A and B are shown apart, each in its own frame.
Chain A
Amino acid sequence: MANTQTMTAEMPMTETPKFLSGAQAIMQCLVENNVKTIFGYPGGAIMPTYDALYDYQDRIKHILVRHEQGAGHAAQGYARMTGRAGVAMVTSGPGATNLMTPIADALLDSTPMVCLVGQVKANLLGTDAFQECDIIGMSMPVTKWNYQITDADEIPEIMAKAFYIAESGRPGPVLLDITRTAQADIMTKPFVYKPCDEIVSYRPRYIPKQSQVEEAAKLINAAKKPYIFAGHGILIAKAEAELDEFARKTDIPVATTLLGMSALPHNHPNYIGWLGMHGNYGANVLTDEADLIIAIGMRFDDRVTGDLAKFITQAKVIHIDIDPAEINKNIIANAPVVGDAKEALKALLPLVKERKHTEWIAEFKKYDEIEFEKVSKRDLFHDGDQIKMGEAVAMLSKKTKGEAVTVTDVGQHQMIVNRYYEYMKPNSLVTSGGAGTMGFALPAAFGAKVGAPDREVIALIGDGGFQMTIQELGTIAQSGLPVKIIILNNNFLGMVRQWQQLFFDKRYSFVELQNPDFIMISKGFGIDAHKVSDRAELSVALDKMLAATTPYLLEIVCEKEENVFPMVPSGGSVASIRLE
């Protein structure tokens, strides 16, 4: 929301200041926090800070997005790769409101993010000034913490607090609403940055209580059919190695949630699939047979549980989560363990007995065979004319050895990627889970690439979601980040169409798209692009895309009316899962 109307109001400082300006203090805080890249979009109320950034270009790289939503999602992508807060910087009013969607997304998916938002001068607050908006009020329900800065002197302390709150405990988005006054004013004292490591009213518990751990261990040792649900908390806590060790020692089958994907490599002997509405057949159905559920860093979302009244009613539950508010929220836990997933697993390891659950794990394999016959075979070995999303993803998985970072949007393709991409490396999926934000993938992908420059980052996007943030192709072209983009194009808002087919009598209400020529658009932005619609050419096209050292877009024309199965009907019990 560039605006030059208010530019003349504050000219660059004329005299050499004794102390830093608020804007310089913000930059200095970013440097102190070891922030190397920020994503943003300038505008009137944040201009003093952009002016300060001009002098910090050698230390802080700024990626200019094409829409503030893109800055937010990019910051999320960065955060998901690094575990550190992604920083988005935008102006007041519409700049800030455009950031609301990523903030809400980050809250639901526990993604650390610090949003620096400009605000009108302090004396104009509440006057309906140009581009004024009560962003503190608006962002309150979707931020972990927010704060309005009106005094330059507050900046070092508040910035330190913001990063600490965003990154610690259960991570989340923090918004700082920085008035132009605070940015432009000169501090009245020397800049001193002290990292925040304690807030008296906020003390996340990392190390679990020993009594809770012992109680949990007792249940684990007594269980006959224990079952681990591994969630995003494993990835956030970087507890993949501990989970691996724990699963091997106890020989308990492990399923992941959507966001817990890649917590264990897919060839791990204990990995049995993923949970949820479009998860694996056995992974879902056998929740009804387990006698103990060990839920680690997951929150029993309705997309995992289906009908809560019929979910795991026979099993005891150990719920490990760093957020006490999650305990007993949806599922009553027999043994709650409040703490960090890594610390909890470390504490549990010496207390649990070495066991073998060969038969129990074999049960999952039986269901896998049924699922393969009824679903996967149809998706992967299909002799129809058109390419199926599943086969494209499976081929990509094979060609990348399951080691790429996949960034998905929301919809059918998202479920298909999770079904057929065989993750071998931890932290390899960036997706919008809780919020289900279409348009997430493209900006999140270049954010992820900034966070993990050494990894292959591939965005997989549907034709609908792609058009929600299509303008970010400009950002990718300008930054030159070698992000690979795959559009799985079926000319439909596929997931909605699937629901309309299955639950609304095939009344396809506004789900068919007249799409633009994606190749021409991509080339127009300066990104090399290629379209493939023939199965025989798919392999070569993927090779070419993977070989590219620059950003590259591959459009794969897919079968139009493809459905994603298995599927637990919304509100149904997991046992009512459909395979066709």
Chain B
Amino acid sequence: MCVFRTTKIEYRITHIENRTSKNPNIKYRIPNNEIMTTYTLSIFTTNTIGLLNRITIIFTRRRLNIESLTVCETERKNVSRFTIVMRHESRDTVEKLVRQIRKVVDVLAVFGYLDHEIVFNEIALFKLATPLGGTALNIKEINLDWNAKVVHWGLDYVVIEKNGTEVEIAEFYQYMKNWEILEYLKSGRVAVGKTEKGLVEYLPESDWETV
């Protein structure tokens, strides 16, 4: 629980909760296909070499596309967490996929989530050209309206970091297009379930040393 609530954090929270677009004319770069549903899979595994391959071949064999994949350590020693985002029209197919992933010997647990069941975010980095005489950056707008920040000042370029959902980042991308984008990249999604349960529920401390 966060005890200190600065204005900035409050702003951020409301910003994430309020996911609607500020500008209705913005065209998203993400295909907004209504038939496809986005699923986020959280996979907990023991930290084993080759396991990433073992999991991804389950997708490729079924001709399923991975939208994004993030692997990280967890608060348990030797436990890795995969966050995989996929889009599919059939929930049944996704459920079968989840069962196949669970079957992998080194996989501890798999959870499938719909977007409303999770809190999720991505990080995007924009490298912008800021030549002499070019349009000046409106730092206040970037900071406060877009909740992004300049993380590196170069001689004639800047690197701006924006955290948010795919939608928010896509909107920000449109705004960034007012400048010359030298490079744009984005991480995969990280997501945490909106439940009170922690990792301890399915990976008890008695079995797993904490880091």
Contact = CB atoms under 8 A, between A and B. Distances in A.
Given A200-B108, A200-B207, A325 B54 contact: no
Contact of A137 (B53, B95, B106): B53
A548 to B, nearest CB: 44
A201 B106 contact: yes
Interface string A138-150: 0011001110100
Given A136-B50, A325-B100, A141 B61 contact: yes
B52 to A, nearest CB: 11
Contacts of B207: 200
A490 B100 CA distance: 42
A140 B96 contact: no
Given A141-B61, A144-B105, A325-B103, A201 B49 contact: no
B107 interface: yes
B57 A140 contact: yes
Interface string B102-134: 110111100000000000000000000000000
A114 to B, nearest CB: 14
B108 A201 contact: yes
B165 interface: no
Contacts of A137: 50, 53
Nearest to B57: A141
B99 interface: yes
B50 A323 contact: no
A329 B96 CA distance: 6
Given A140-B50, A140-B54, A323 B103 contact: yes
A200 B77 CA distance: 13
A510 interface: no
B53 A165 contact: no
A328 B154 CA distance: 57
Contacts of B102: 324-325
A9 interface: no
Nearest to A137: B53
B43 to A, nearest CB: 11
Q: Contact residue range for chain A?
A: 10 to 19
B40 interface: no
Main secondary structure of the interface of A (DSSP, over half): mixed
A148 B49 CA distance: 9
Given A140-B50, A140-B54, A165 B105 contact: yes
Contacts of B83: none
A536 interface: no
A199 interface: yes
Contacts of A165: 105
Interface string B179-210: 00000000000000000000000000001100
Interface string A193-233: 00000011110000000000000000000000000000000
A486 to B, nearest CB: 37
Interface in A518-541: none
B42 interface: no
Nearest to A325: B99
Contacts of B61: 141
B53 A328 contact: no
Q: Contact residue range for chain B?
A: 20 to 34
A201 B50 contact: no
B46 interface: yes
Interface string A169-210: 000000000000000000000000000000111100000000
B32 to A, nearest CB: 31
Contacts of B99: 324-325, 327, 329
A200 B208 CA distance: 9
B122 to A, nearest CB: 28
B105 A328 contact: no
A145 B50 contact: no
A288 B45 CA distance: 43
A317 to B, nearest CB: 16
Interface string B34-53: 00000000000110011001
Interface string B76-105: 000000000000000000011001101101
Contacts of B45: 201
Nearest to B109: A201
Nearest to A136: B50
A201 B57 contact: no
Given A144-B105, A200-B108, A328 B57 contact: no
A146 B105 CA distance: 10
B53 A140 contact: yes
A435 to B, nearest CB: 15
A371 to B, nearest CB: 36
Interface in A108-158: 136-137, 140-141, 144-146, 148
B163 to A, nearest CB: 32
A141 B104 CA distance: 11
B51 to A, nearest CB: 10
B111 to A, nearest CB: 15
A158 B168 CA distance: 47
A325 B108 CA distance: 15
Interface in A306-333: 323-325, 327-329
Contacts of A202: 105-106
Nearest to B48: A147
Nearest to B203: A200
Contacts of B103: 323-325
Nearest to B100: A325
Contacts of B57: 140-141
Interface in A557-580: none
A137 B46 CA distance: 18
Contact of B105 (A136, A148, A199, A325): A199
Nearest to B108: A201
Which 10 pairs between the two chains have the least Cβ-Cβ distance? A325-B99, A145-B105, A201-B108, A325-B103, A202-B105, A141-B57, A201-B106, A200-B207, A201-B46, A140-B54
Interface of B: 45-46, 49-50, 53-54, 57, 61, 95-96, 99-100, 102-103, 105-108, 207-208
16 contacts: A140-B57, A141-B61, A146-B50, A148-B49, A148-B50, A165-B105, A199-B105, A200-B46, A201-B107, A202-B105, A202-B106, A324-B103, A325-B99, A325-B100, A328-B95, A329-B96
